[in-house]
Amino acid sequence: METCYDYFDCTKIECMIQKNKKLKCWEVEDTLCDTHNNDLKLLQKLFESKKEYCELCFYYQTYNKE
């Protein structure tokens, strides 16, 4: 599975997923997610509130098949 930063060609090196490469982005707090939904560009501080935003993300929808 490719990483979210590869999927989106992201260059945000300060994003916490860059430091936790073994995890999926939806498993990491403090990611600098751009869900590529123009309404949602935010720093996701709280893990508990993150899921609703992740569900709108194209990467999450592609790789999180439950």
**Residue 8 contacts residue 34 (beta carbons within 8 Å):** yes
- Total number of domains in the chain: 1
Q: Where are the beta strands (DSSP E) in the chain?
A: 34-37, 40-41
Q: d(Cα 6, Cα 39) in Å, to the nearest integer?
A: 22
Q: What is the mean pLDDT of residues 39-60?
A: 68
**Residue 4 contacts residue 17 (beta carbons within 8 Å):** yes
CB atoms under 10 Å from CB of 54, counted, come to 20
**What pLDDT sits at residue 66?**
60
pLDDT tens for each residue of 11-48: 888 888 888 888 999 888 878 876 555 455 554 555 55
What residue numbers bound the domain in which 58 lies?
4-63
- 54 pLDDT band (50/70/90 cuts)? confident
- 49 pLDDT band (50/70/90 cuts)? low
